[in-house]
Amino acid sequence: MSDLEINSLDWQKMNGLLPAIIQNAENGNVLMLGYMNQEALIATVTSGQLTLFSRSRQRLWRKGESSGNSMAVQSISADCDNDSLLIHVLPKGSCCHLGYSSCYQPPLPTTLGFLDALIELINERAEANDSDSYTAKLLRDGVSRCAQKVGEEAVETVIAAVNADREELINESSDLVFHLLVLLKSCELSFYEVLQCLQDRDRSTHT
């Protein structure tokens, strides 16, 4: 966001403040609502870290300055009236002071729904390195083993489709998606990067 764009925002409507909706850039989860004055927005743009204006303390505060749970800003957009902001971030740690990933409880539903939870579970298994966990063992075995499992599940999915076995096709497709997520994790990639690629392709076909 340029200086010109910042100056064109409607700072007068709320006496120098703009509401800022903070959203997870990867999965679309709404994390929190904060407020920015012009100084906070400039600090955010300059540092790349979410900086808000505390109405109770009447000062700027950088998210995570005491907790360490910072938020790296990916994009900033203004609405059509130029009087509110939508900020996409990559959060480090929890967002809420109560320890939740979002200040909204229960979390607001997203289009990915259960897939978000599954990705998080795979990430947890990778970090815990549980000897009894199938997922953790698969990740320990490395990229080649994970890729082999994706190949096996892909073949089984194709066979189920050719045989017109609807129930088996659903089951094998589920296994295929799961093992693809594990493979991406093994390659230190995120499924959200795949989604972003699909979105970019979709945009390019309409330009």
Interval 67-77: pLDDT, tens: 888 999 999 99
Tell me if 96 is assigned to some domain: no
Tell me if 71 is assigned to some domain: yes
pTM, to two decimals:
0.59
144 and 63 in one domain? no
123 and 59 in one domain? no
Which position has the higher pLDDT, 110 or 2?
2
pLDDT at 109: 54
> Does residue 108 register a pLDDT over 60?
no
The region, left, alpha or beta by phi > 0 then psi within -120 to 50, assigned to residue 12 is alpha
Q: By residue range, what is the domain housing residue 72? A: 12-91
Query: How many domains, the chain?
Result: 2
Tell me if 74 is assigned to some domain: yes
Give strand pairing partners of 75. Answer: 88
Tell me if 36 is assigned to some domain: yes
Structure confidence at residue 203 as a pLDDT band (50, 70, 90)? low
Tell me if 56 is assigned to some domain: yes
Q: What is the CATH classification number for the domain harbouring 84?
A: 3.10.20.810
| The last residue of a domain, from among 91, 123, 148 | 91
Q: Give the helix/strand (H/E) hosting 36.
A: strand 30-36
10 Å CB burial of residue 50 (0-12, 13-18, 19+) is buried
74 and 155 in one domain? no
Tell me if 83 is assigned to some domain: yes
Tell me if 22 is assigned to some domain: yes
pLDDT at 165: 95
66 and 18 in one domain? yes
Q: What is the CATH classification number for the domain harbouring 119?
A: 1.10.287.1080
197 and 116 in one domain? yes
Interval 122-173: pLDDT, tens: 988 888 877 789 999 999 999 999 999 999 999 999 999 999 999 999 999 9
Q: Which of 100, 85, 99 is nearest to 44 (CA)?
A: 85
> Does residue 112 register a pLDDT over 70?
no
Q: How many residues does the chain have?
A: 207
198 and 156 in one domain? yes
Measure the CA–CA gap between 47 and 64, rounded to whole angstroms.
Answer: 13
138 and 73 in one domain? no
Interval 3-28: pLDDT, tens: 769 999 999 999 999 999 999 988 78
Tell me if 40 is assigned to some domain: yes
Query: Which amino acid is present at 102?
Result: S
pLDDT at 113: 61
Measure the CA–CA gap between 50 and 57, rounded to whole angstroms.
Answer: 17
